Amino acid sequence: MTKTKKMTRTVKFFLAFVACAVPLVILAQEPGSGLSPQAILKPALDSWPTYSGDYTSDRYSTLDKVNKLTVKDLSLAWVSHVEAGPGAAATGGFVFARGGAAAAPTIIGGEGEIPPNASANPRIVGAILQVNGILYMSAPDNAWAMDARDGTVLWHYYWKTKGGTHIGNRGMAMDGDWLYFETPDDYLVSLDAKTGKERWHKVISDFTEQYFSTMAPILIGNHLLVGTGDDLDAPGFLQSFDPETGELQWKHYDVPMEKGDPGADTWPNMDAARHGGAQPWGDGAYDPETNLYMYGTGNPTPAYTPQSRLGDNLFTCTLLAVNVDTGKMAWYYQTSPHDTHDWDSNQTPVLVDGTWDGKPRKMVLQATRNGYFFVLDRLTGQHLLTSKFGESANWSKPLNAKGQPYPNPEKDSTVPGSLVSPSNGGITNWPPPAYNPKTGLFYVPEHDSYSMYYLTETDPRGAMGLGGKEEDGVGSTSNSIDAIDYHTGKIVWRHVFPESGAGGFGGGTGLLTTAGGLVFGSDEGGNFVAFDASTGKPVWHSHIGGVSNAAETYLLDGKQNILVANGDSIYDFVLNQ
């Protein structure tokens, strides 16, 4: 056989293989797509349709097939791997997936150039949606659809970025057959859930002002809520987009922008306020009874040199409630007035229907980065309770009459240095907490650490953004998962990890709790762990390496699945019964 005939036969075989392989990918997508916004109000047991599972953000599942008795039989069903970058679509080549099968198609969008690190290993840190047997996940510049039954990647979307801060991506939103996610260079992108093809993309914020976008969009009715981040002296704002057209519906600034705006008197002048920060980069909770969306805002800027922004600096480090239809603020509570350490209050708030002083009460709970836990009336914003859950936190004065911790100037950054806890990462951070109505306990990761904060810019005009200081970490005393009784603010149990003090952040990847009496989290040894929700005792674990997101659960084919990620790999566990 001649060399030419060999090549011809090889090409024919290759084209035949492609023709057979691609339809298989398309057929695999048939069960997926189709999510009504109303379905998120009362999610079915066989889906995980939004960032926290439902609008309460309590990350509580009523599923109980996996429980304290059966969890010992939980075993790995499959593990799948995702790859970032432009793939074969950028080169005209053909890529084979692991195992020799044809790789899923890669769709390319975006307005930038493909950077040198385009194929860097992705890291799944946010929510993975599960709707009709299809998983939808994202990382900076990338999105994927995956068969929930075996982990087969169905399609991959790659965004050509202009650059920006690629710190992470917290997930996607879904409306009908459409998906939405943010890009680091500040675009909102809509994709066809069946094919991964781009529908449209819209600018969220000004990339030249160094905004960056990591939040998982939140779909509420015909509103798509989107937030951004920025580490320079820029104003924070929450926006609502039309999920059908991508057009802007309203924009709510989190700091005063004009004289006479609420909170303007908490800044020395309007220039300081307009450059004051309060970025809404985290995901919140929604109360359909009041039509209020509750979310936390970020730190004031400049962060560490506060001489130019004396005052409480509203509405930075604040829990805000805004009307979803108008974007107008209904109430607020500032959890960290005049923050001086970059301890954003973007931590996920949790809605609870419980009791207070023996009477039914609708509340919102939040454990913040500064080490304090808050309970508010979610209808009015009335303060009910503040407690300190961070054992090492030493930065504040005693609580004021409003229940707020206010910074002790001796713990600000100083020229000789100040020993402060927590370090910049906080007692807790953005990974979501959980609440179990059966136990009445609120679960949150705790990281107790110390740093020396040195002032390096003594000019009274301060420094921009996060400049003007040097932080040197000096150690961690303990890392744990805490269970807090919201009635008293007291810690009912604290599971301290044996590796504590080594500099890790045990349980810091977010939590899930279930009617089966379990809390799912992680430890510092690379274990995915189930804890007894009442006692904190570990009852099961699987060593999968560094867990990178909060676990999720749902029914699939009658079986309860537990899904979690480790960087670029997805692990699916089911009961071995």
For 54-84, write each residue's pLDDT tens digit. 999 999 999 999 999 999 999 999 999 999 9
What is the count of structural domains for the chain? 1
Helix (H) / strand (E) element for 27: namely: helix 3-28
Does residue 22 sit in helix, strand or coil?
helix
Q: What is the DSSP letter of 497?
A: -
Place of tokens 């004051």: 276
Per-residue pLDDT of the chain (577 residues; tens, 9 = 90+): 443 333 333 333 333 333 333 333 333 344 445 888 788 988 889 999 999 999 999 999 999 999 999 999 999 999 999 999 997 555 454 444 444 455 788 999 999 987 767 768 899 999 999 999 999 999 999 999 999 999 999 999 999 999 988 999 999 999 999 999 999 999 999 999 999 999 999 999 999 999 999 999 999 999 999 999 999 999 999 999 999 999 999 999 999 999 999 999 999 999 999 999 999 999 999 999 999 999 999 999 999 999 899 999 999 999 999 999 999 999 999 999 999 999 999 999 999 999 999 999 999 999 999 999 999 999 999 999 999 999 999 999 999 999 999 999 999 999 999 999 999 999 999 999 999 999 999 999 999 999 999 999 988 777 899 999 999 999 988 899 999 999 999 999 999 998 654 444 555 789 999 999 999 999 988 999 999 999 999 999 999 998 999 999 999 999 999 999 999 999 999 987 7
CB 502 within 8 A of CB 523: no
Q: What is the DSSP letter of 232?
A: S
Helix (H) / strand (E) element for 271: namely: helix 270-274
Q: From 405, 284, 296, select the one nearest 351 (Cα to Cα).
A: 284
Percentage of the chain beyond pLDDT 70 is 90
Q: What is the DSSP letter of 101?
A: P
**In a domain? residue 20:** no
**In a domain? residue 21:** no
**In a domain? residue 311:** yes
Burial 434-458 (b: 16+ CB within 10 A, else e): bbbeebbbbbbbbbbbbbbbbbebe
**In a domain? residue 25:** no
**In a domain? residue 291:** yes
CA distances to 10, 12, 13, 14, 93 from 3, rounded to whole Å, are: 11, 14, 15, 16, 22
d(CA 506, CA 495): 10
d(CA 321, CA 510): 23
For 165-193, write each residue's pLDDT tens digit. 899 999 999 999 999 999 999 999 999 99
Helix (H) / strand (E) element for 218: namely: strand 218-220
d(CA 508, CA 513): 15
d(CA 210, CA 226): 17
Phi/psi of residue 330, nearest 5 degrees:
-95, -40
Residue 96 CB neighbour total at 10 angstroms: 12
**Ramachandran area for residue 57 (φ above 0: left; ψ -120 to 50: alpha; else beta):** left
**In a domain? residue 14:** no
Does residue 268 sit in helix, strand or coil?
coil
User: Mean pLDDT score of the chain, rounded to an integer?
Assistant: 90
Chain center to CA of 566: 15
Q: What is the CATH number of the domain that holds 545?
A: 2.140.10.10
Got the DSSP string for 403-457?
S---B-GGGS-BSS-EEESS-TT-SS-SS--EEETTTTEEEEEEEEEEEEEEE--
Q: Structural domain of residue 339, as residue ranges?
A: 31-575
CB 348 within 8 A of CB 57: yes
**In a domain? residue 1:** no
**In a domain? residue 432:** yes
